[in-house]
Amino acid sequence: AVVSKGSRHYPPLRALQTSAVLRRASDEHKKAPLTSSSQQHFDSPPAGHQPEQKPQGSRPSYTGQGGQESEDYESEEQLQHRILTAALEFVPEHGWTAEAIAEGAKTLGLSVAAAGMFHSDGSELILHFVSECNSKLSELLEKEQKLVQLGEAEKKPIDEFLRDAVEARLRMLIPYIEKWPQALSVLLLPRNIPSSLNLLTSMIDDIWHYAGDQSTDFNWYTRRAVLTGIYNTTELVMMQDSSPGFEDTWRFLENRVADAMTMSNTASQVQSTGEAVVQGLMGAAVTIKNLAGLNQRR
Amino acid sequence: MAAVLLCRCRALLSRPAGAPRARRGLAAGPEMHFGFQTVTEEERREKIYQVFENVAKKYDVMNDSMTLGIHRVWKDILVHKMNPCPGTLLLDVAGGTGDIAFRFINYVRSVRKRQLQRKLKHHQNLSWQEIFESYQKDEFNSLGDSQVVVCDINREMLKVGKQKAQHLGYSEGLSWVLGNAEELPFDDDKFDVYTIAFGIRNVTRIDLVLLYRSKLITPALSQALQEAYRVLKPGGRFLCLEFSHVSNPLLSRLYDLYSFQVIPVLGEVIAGDWRSYQYLVESIRQFPPQEELKAMIEDAGFFKVDYENLNFGIVAIHSGFKL
């Protein structure tokens, strides 16, 4: 029998077909399934196409057809997101590899072949993890900011703020610290550099934003460059740190942040000294011109 | 499929010399009344069966000589793309002589070896008792529970495959089943990966073609795709290695020339069977190109469908997931 659905012309409608796995996003929130009577309102499955696994709950009713992306079915990206999240718990054992992704897919009830959706070197898994950590950091910083705004907490001085933010972010690596060097090397592959650099810069940007930086001049760049340097070096130190509770790493971090502060003080001192020197020179030049009689008006 | 290398020898097919076949009538579209021999569906299936029956013993030799051995690389690439981990259940349809199955087993074995080595490295500080137990557990599991089922419609091809397996020493994790790709003798949701290498062309029923939305799509082909969808587990992968369309015009001409001049001759010299290879070449020409096949796979319900051209489109690997 010839399949006669209009899926080719309405790509979003494909999500409505009995997808075996893409489940309704609303399933996560709703407990009671919808009534099955609503199944009559849209395309019935084409003849010959046997749906072997109906998604949990029945489909919602639609008045329109095609073109309307169903809000309830998750997209492929969301499914991939779920698989990667599930795969994270297998990373300490298998490393950042396609095997960890396969195990993750298994826990979701999918076949291990689903790991084929991702690249075989585990790049997507690592990038997913990094972006998750960055989101968590943002949430943390926002919560702190709210507390400060409500007056329930003291506003921290800049160096302490930066120190705490970087420490919080690095602590998220601790469960995966053994395999993290592998992840770092994968992130440096030419293919991944645009994405990993993007994630890094947006994280640093976030930290400075919550630190209250509103500069619009060249300082914007120097601040971010400095903090990126601090973050990267501390991360590398953490990789080979074997002290209890990573004390050495936090001490290193403290020193680097202090260095940065001193440097910025020095920079502004140099600038004002420079200005003073220039003014002095200008004055000297005018004096000399007066002495030489060049300034006289005839 | 042996016709490897092939390509669309349009010149070859339009000549009145040679066995009159329904194919040519078909190529002209609705002009099937041109007087060429038409065959019924049953007869055609018979003919294809006979083609492979005749070709079976020389199948591998012909493959090697016609593609100059490149078909091995294509099949290697297919298995690498699959990247199976131990514990995968593979269904290799139209896999007659077992090429994909053997490669799968080799791949899984080496992955498994690496896994075991890694585990051993972790076991540096175990007591003797624990080490003893771990050896007992892992020792006889060199494939990690992976299995491959080779399914083919042709008994001769399966026979050749079994002999090859015995000769090369493959015994574990392999099973041979007689079956039709349009109606697989398996339950739903069974396999992790479904592959069909150079076989999906032969599933197409040439005489009963329907002009479906102005494209030549046969019910048999979509039936095969739907069967593939059915037997795969949720999350399972569909992989198809097949001859396809070369878009580069210069290369296309060279390719046509090669298969026009060389293939038929090789067929006669090596296998003593000109007609079988003519059929095979024709079937390649009739097969839908990359984008159309991709659309058909999507129609069967697969997601994230993609294709990769090998050798500028002489061969293409299509991949889809049952999500």
Q: pLDDT digits over A230-259, tens only?
A: 999 999 999 999 999 999 999 999 999 999
In this predicted model, what pLDDT tens digit does every residue of A167-205 receive, in sequence order? Answer: 999 999 999 999 999 999 999 999 999 999 999 999 999
Tell me which residue of A75, A18, A10 sits closest to A46, measured CA to CA: A18
Non-local CB neighbours of A30 within 8 Å, separated by 6+ positions:
A57
CB contact under 8 A, A115 and B189: no
Residue A124 CA neighbour count, 13 Å, CB half: 18
The more confident residue out of B281 and A298 is B281
Q: A214: helix, coil or strand?
A: coil
Q: Is the pLDDT of residue B20 over 80?
A: no
Question: What's the whole-number mean pLDDT along residues A268-292?
Answer: 89
- At B218 the pLDDT is 62
Please, which pLDDT band fits residue B22 given cuts at 50, 70 and 90? very low
Q: Using an 8 Å CB-CB cutoff, list chain A residues near B228.
A: none
A73, two tokens:
């079915």
pLDDT band at A86 (very low <50, low <70, confident <90, very high): very high
Q: What is the pTM of this model?
A: 0.75
pLDDT tens string A153-177: 888 888 899 999 999 999 999 999 9
Answer for the pair B12, B248: CB distance below 8 angstroms, yes or no. no
Mean pLDDT of A126-154: 93
Dihedral angle computed from the Cα positions of residues B149, B152, B156 and B159, in that order, rounded to the nearest 10 degrees: 0
Rounded-to-integer distance, Cα B88 and Cα A105, Å: 13
Q: Quick one: pLDDT at residue A19?
A: 65
Give the pLDDT score at A91. 93
Mean pLDDT computed over A34-46: 40
Residues A66, A264: Cα–Cα separation, whole Å: 59
Number of helices followed by number of strands (H, E) in chain A: 9, 0
Pinpoint the alpha helices (H) of B28-58: 41-55
Lowest-confidence region among A83-87, A229-233, A272-276: A272-276
CA dihedral B38, B43, B45, B46 (to 10 degrees): -130
**Shortest Cα distance from B221 to chain A (angstroms)?**
11
DSSP state for residue A28 in the 8-state scheme? G
Nearest CA in chain A to B323: A21
A113 to B236: CB separation less than 8 angstroms, yes or no: yes
First vs last C-alpha separation in chain B: 30
Tell me the helix, strand and coil percentages in chain B, rounded to 5.
Answer: 55, 20, 30
**Alpha carbon distance A84, A86 (integer Å):** 5
Name A147's Cβ contacts closer than 8 Å, sequence gap at least 6.
Answer: A153
At B319, give phi and psi (nearest 5°).
-135, 140
Residue B82 neighbours by CB under 8 Å, 6+ apart: A113, A116, B104, B107, B193, B195, B237, B239
Question: Which of A48-52, B14-18, B78-82 has maximum average pLDDT?
Answer: B78-82
Q: Does B106 or B203 have the greater pLDDT score?
A: B106
B289, pLDDT greater than 70: yes
Contact B33, B136 (CB under 8 A): no
What's the whole-number mean pLDDT along residues B166-184? Answer: 90
Task: Please tell me the predicted confidence (pLDDT) of residue B220.
Answer: 77
For residue A122, count other CB atoms closer than 10 A to its CB: 27
pLDDT score, position B168: 92
Q: What residues of B are in contact with residue A98 (Cβ under 8 Å)?
A: 83, 85
B204 confidence band (pLDDT: 50, 70, 90): low
Per-residue pLDDT at B24 = 44
Q: Inform me whether the pLDDT recorded for A34 exceeds 70.
A: no
Predicted-complex ipTM score:
0.76
Alpha carbon separation from A84 to A16, A97, B110, B122 (Å, rounded): 24, 11, 25, 25
Candidate from B233, B295, B298 with C-beta closest to A111: B233
B-chain CB neighbours of A109 within 8 Å are 234-235
Tell me what the pLDDT averaged over chain A comes to.
Answer: 80
Q: Nearest CA to B77 among B300, B255, B319? A: B319
Taking contacts as CB-CB distances below 8 angstroms, the residues of chain B near A117 are 304, 321
Which residue is listed with tokens 């069909």?
A: B196
For residues B3 and B56, the model is more confident at B56
